[in-house]
Amino acid sequence: MKSELLKLLCRNARYTNEELAAMLNSTPEAVAEEIRALEKEGVICGYKAVIDWDRLDDAYVSAIVELNVVPKADLGFEEVAEKVMSFREVESVYLMSGVYDLNVVVKGPTLQDVARFVARELATIDSVTSTTTHFVMRRYKEMDTNLYDVNEDDRGQFLL
Amino acid sequence: MIDYEKVLNPTVCAIKPSGIRKFFDIAATMDDVVSLGVGEPDFQTPWQIRKAGIASLERGRTRYTSNQGLLPLREEIAAYVKRHYELNYRPDTEILLTVGGSEAIDAAIRALVSYGHADEVIIPQPSYVCYEPITELAGGVPVIIETKAENDFKLTPEQLRAAITPRTKALILPYPCNPTGAIMEKADLEAIAAVLRETNIIVISDEIYAELSFGENRHISIASLDGMQERTIVINGFSKAFSMTGWRLGYACGPAPLLKQITKIHQFAIMCAPTTSQYAAIEALRNGDDAVDSMRKEYNRRRRLIVNGFRKLGLACHEPKGAFYVFPSIQSTGMSSDVFCERLLKEARVALVPGTAFGRGGDGFVRASYCYSNEHIIEALARIQKFLNHL
């Protein structure tokens, strides 16, 4: 049940335990128990809404920043990753294969705020040797959710 | 001025227009209606199947195919029905590609029923709406059997035996069933077969929902039972299983002497099934099983969600084991299906289809399709709950 349950929660974390139980052919109690266990194990780390901020006046700007880093002898990339993570402007941090090391998603109220943050806070970290910043121009899909063109149901009302 | 009444075929004029049309016309003028009315998949045709259709167009495959359909496709169908339903049909003489399962049903009935002989076609209801008018258009007489909720809407051998007369030409066997979600398990089919083996009645087995069976066992075709292949025309197609409704492609499998005549009707009325669709269908049969599996799993989750939901609302709901519909009873409200659906639409903005639209035995029931997202289903159920609370 575990992986099916997680897939459903990824789709919509607000299904009730009763709804989940019906879909999984289980009981609400068993579902509640499984969710508690997954939370405790740290498999489920949180529940958040998928928001299309562009529909609001207080939209924000986000950028993907590629960092090249000189890893520390015994700490590898962990030390710099921890430093980068600690900023509230940083939404996610990934260690990457390929031509750069850390992929950092940064958000801020305006383009200038983000640019300033990268220049002042990320570029100045000791082991960071270079940064490349790509601003997001439009969000089409976020966390598996289509933000772009919510498909209208174009099915005819036939009596079939 | 032409008096059209005198020009038109009285048999056609006598056919009742679908009562549901009026109902959906009202729904169409209203805002914020949550419909569980549509009987076609919400999934797109899997991409690899669409791509095969596109590729065929790029290669310029834009002409008619043979009347029966592309031979490679008929070969794939033979392999597919063997793999899935243990059926053995010869691609050269026993398989015909049609414009949807609908055309196959029409041609099969027309091939069997002769004008002016009052040939009878037995039709279990509630069921899909086309069998009765097609029979009438062919000059036949529909003989309706009302299937019952207490029998899980299955056709029973007693009912069948009671309906058979010397004029019975054919039995429509519409399982898995739209709108009831009923299926016929092997033992049920054996009992029906036992009645038919002593007769010359041909079974038109409409198995368009075969791949959407949610019981413990796979769908079983009556043609796979001993002695039944020679008296059965199996109708299937791509619309429901592969989410290919708009491609209009179905097929009939049956004994060569029957298929020969059915093909004649098809040849003169239709020529051939759409070419692009036929190329796409080859891909569907060769490599589509995984996509169908994942859609089936999704339907099954929704099925359990919606059945649980209706039962929680206090509406009795037999377990639908096939197709993508639930058929809950609304008898506890004291309303007829038509009144219930109209009030539900106007007062709660939810569109369901009254059971009466599917013929006799449908009153007291409503059809809800689960070709909708979980969220859509949950919203509809919440509205229905509110409506029921205010009664």
**B241-253, pLDDT tens digit by residue?**
999 999 999 999 9
Provide, as residue numbers in chain A, all residues whose Cβ is less than 8 Å from the Cβ of B308. Answer: 18-19, 21-22
What one-letter code names the amino acid at B327? F
H/E stretch holding A23: helix A17-24
The pLDDT-based confidence of A101 (bands split at 50, 70, 90) is very high
- Residue B363 pLDDT more than 80? yes
Which residues have a Cβ under 8 Å from the Cβ of A21 and sit 6 or more positions away? A27, A28, A30, A31, B308
Local confidence band at A59 (pLDDT 50, 70, 90 cut-offs)? confident
Question: What is the residue type of A156?
Answer: G
Domains of chain B: 4-45+290-389 (3.90.1150.10), 60-287 (3.40.640.10)
Quick one: pLDDT at residue B29?
86
Position B79, amino acid: A
Mean pLDDT, rounded, for A31-38 = 97
Tokens of B314: 């206090």
- Gap between the terminal Cα atoms of chain A: 35
Lowest mean pLDDT segment, chosen from A3-17, A90-104, B21-35, B297-311: B21-35
State the Cα angle at B167 between B165 and B168, rounded to 5°.
Answer: 70
> Mutating which of B374, B375, B385 best tests the A interface, going by the most A Cβ atoms within 10 A?
B374
Read off the pLDDT of each residue in B201-227 and give the average, rounded to a whole number: 96
CB atoms within 10 A of CB A52: 14
Whether the Cβ atoms of residue B360 and residue B146 lie closer than 8 Å to each other = yes
Q: What is the pLDDT of residue B217?
A: 86
- A22, A156, A159 ranked by CB distance to B304: nearest: A22
Inform me whether the C-beta atom of residue B28 falls under 8 Å from chain A C-beta atoms: yes
Mean pLDDT value across residues B89-106: 98
CB A23 within 8 A of CB A8: yes
- Residues of chain B with pLDDT > 90: what percent? 93
Which DSSP string do the residues of B77-106 spell out, in sequence order? HHHHHHHHH-----TTTSEEEESHHHHHHH
The band of B19, judged by pLDDT with boundaries at 50, 70 and 90, is low
In this structure, the number of other CB atoms found within 10 A of the CB of residue A83 comes to: 16
Q: Which residues of A touch B320 (CB under 8 A)?
A: none
Instruction: Tell me the average pLDDT across A121-145.
Output: 93
* Cα–Cα distance, B177 to B105 (Å, whole number): 15
pLDDT of residue B262: 98
B28 band by pLDDT with thresholds 50, 70 and 90: confident
**Span of A152-156, B13-17, B161-165, B322-326 with lowest mean pLDDT:** A152-156
Task: List the end-to-end C-alpha distance of chain B, in Å, as a whole number.
Answer: 52
| pLDDT for residue A152 | 74
ipTM of the complex: 0.84
Spacing of C-alpha B306 from chain mean position: 21
Task: Quote the pLDDT of residue B200.
Answer: 97
∠ CA B331-B369-B176, rounded to 5°: 90
Print burial letters for A17-27: b (CB count within 10 Å at least 16), e (below 16). bbbbbbbbebe
CB A96 within 8 A of CB A107: no
3-state secondary structure of A74: coil
> Does B45 touch chain A if contact means CB atoms closer than 8 Å?
no
pLDDT exceeds cutoff 80 at A148: yes
B382 touches chain A (CB under 8 A): no
How many residue contacts between A and B have a Cβ separation below 8 Å? 55
Burial of B165 (0-12, 13-18, 19+ CB in 10 A): exposed
By the 8 A CB rule, do B210 and B179 touch? no
Position with higher pLDDT, B39 vs B252 = B252
Average pLDDT, rounded, for chain B = 96
Q: Which of A22, A158, A160 sits opposite B308 (nearest CB)?
A: A22
Res A58: pLDDT: 78
Residues of B in contact with A22 (CB under 8 A): 304-305, 307-309
Q: Tell whether A150 lies on the interface with B, counting CB pairs under 8 A.
A: no
Burial of A47 (0-12, 13-18, 19+ CB in 10 A): exposed
Q: Is the pLDDT of residue B116 over 90?
A: no
Query: Which domains are delineated in chain A?
Result: 2-40 (1.10.10.10), 53-139 (3.30.70.920)
Which of these, B37, B32, B5, lies nearest to B20 by C-alpha position? Answer: B37
Does pLDDT of B174 surpass 70?
yes
Determine the angle formed by the axes of helices A2-11 and A28-40, rounding to 10 degrees. Answer: 90
- Residue A159: pLDDT over 60: no
| Identity of the residue numbered B185 | E
Whole-model pTM? 0.92
Instruction: Count other C-beta atoms under 10 Å from residue A139's C-beta.
Output: 14
Residue of B nearest to A154 (CA): B42
Model confidence at B223: pLDDT above 80: yes
Q: Is the pLDDT of residue A41 over 80?
A: yes
pLDDT at residue A66 greater than cutoff 80? yes
Find the helix or strand (DSSP H, E) in which A2 lies: helix A2-11
Band of pLDDT at residue A57, cut at 50, 70 and 90 = confident
Does residue B129 have a pLDDT over 60? yes
Report the pLDDT averaged over residues A69-98. Answer: 92
What residue in A sits closest to B303 (Cα-Cα)?
A23
Quote the minimal CA–CA distance from B127 to chain A in Å: 10
Nearest-neighbour CA in chain A from B18: distance (Å): 8
Contacts of B382 in chain A (CB under 8 A): none
State how far Cα A30 lies from the chain centre. 28
Q: Both tokens of residue A116? A: 């300033």
B380 at interface of A, judged by CB pairs closer than 8 A: no
Q: Using a CB-CB distance cutoff of 8 angstroms, which residues of chain A are in contact with residue B129?
A: 159
- How deeply is A79 buried, as exposed, middle or buried, from its count of CB atoms within 10 A (0-12, 13-18, 19+)? middle
Which residues in B lie closer than 8 A to residue A24 (C-beta atoms)? 301
| Span A91-95, average pLDDT | 97
